[in-house]
Amino acid sequence: MAFDLRAALLKKAEVETARLVDFEFRLRARTMRLLAGRIGEDADALVARIVRGDDAAIVAELETARGLPPGALAADYRRSLAEARAQLIDEVGDPSPYRLA
């Protein structure tokens, strides 16, 4: 029986992709939850918006709905993103891909 390097690499790619996609989804959801707490929005409603658009579009919608100038919530978003990333790394580990060697 011979070792199939191609199959091993494909399996690794599949596992790594799933792990990174999971981390990205959790990061987006947690970021929106933290942002909601900072700006006084309903957290569940804000998290539900992640299926309809990217984070920049969501923040832009919030600014428009509140009558704020573009970029007004950028600092709150960045702080929420940094905090969410730190929390997730503590919980599930660093999202950097694992090396074969």
Cα torsion angle, 79, 82, 85, 89, sign = negative
For residue 1, the model assigns a pLDDT of 59
For residue 8, the model assigns a pLDDT of 83
C-beta of residue 46 within 8 angstroms of C-beta of residue 76: no
| 70-99 pLDDT per residue, tens | 999 999 999 999 999 999 999 988 887 666
Low-confidence spans in the chain with pLDDT less than 50 = none
